[in-house]
Amino acid sequence: MSRSYGLMWSKEKALEFLKVWLPDNIPEEVRDDEFCDEYQRTVNRVEYEFERNLPCKPRLQKGAKHIWDCGWCGSVIVSGENANYCNACGHPILWDEIRTLTGVKEGATKEVD
């Protein structure tokens, strides 16, 4: 059973509200250093959580075998081309081409030197 969160904006609109509208409407007497620090930490967390859920491209390690690293955390993707998510961080993996052990299309991935 999923939880109902009520009406919500898109990620872009929510970030715009948080970063553009809100700072202009916070009274000056509230904006001390502690408040500004907490506000920035909140913005950082929201941006991080939004980005964390976006699929990332895997990175290929050069070598005799094809070993893929998570494009988010850098951990080896243990299940290789069969993985839809990183085993370490749970980030969705975005494969550009048909998953194969034979090679990588140009521009499909960023190779690790």
Binding site for Zn ion (CB under 5 A): 70, 72-73, 75, 86, 88-89, 91
Given the complex with Zn ion, which of 61 and 75 has the nearer CB atom? 75
Q: Which amino acid is at 31?
A: R
The distance of closest approach from Cβ of residue 73 to Zn ion in the complex, given in angstroms and rounded to an integer, is: 3
Given the complex with Zn ion, which of 39 and 85 has the nearer CB atom? 85
Q: What is the per-residue burial (b if ≥16 Cβ within 10 Å, else e) of 35-49?
A: eeeebeeeeeeeeee
- What residue ranges in the chain does DSSP mark as E strands? 59-61, 67-69, 110-112
Given the complex with Zn ion, which of 22 and 73 has the nearer CB atom? 73
The distance of closest approach from Cβ of residue 110 to Zn ion in the complex, given in angstroms and rounded to an integer, is: 15
Helix %, strand %, coil % for the chain, to 5?
A: 35, 10, 50
The distance of closest approach from Cβ of residue 109 to Zn ion in the complex, given in angstroms and rounded to an integer, is: 15
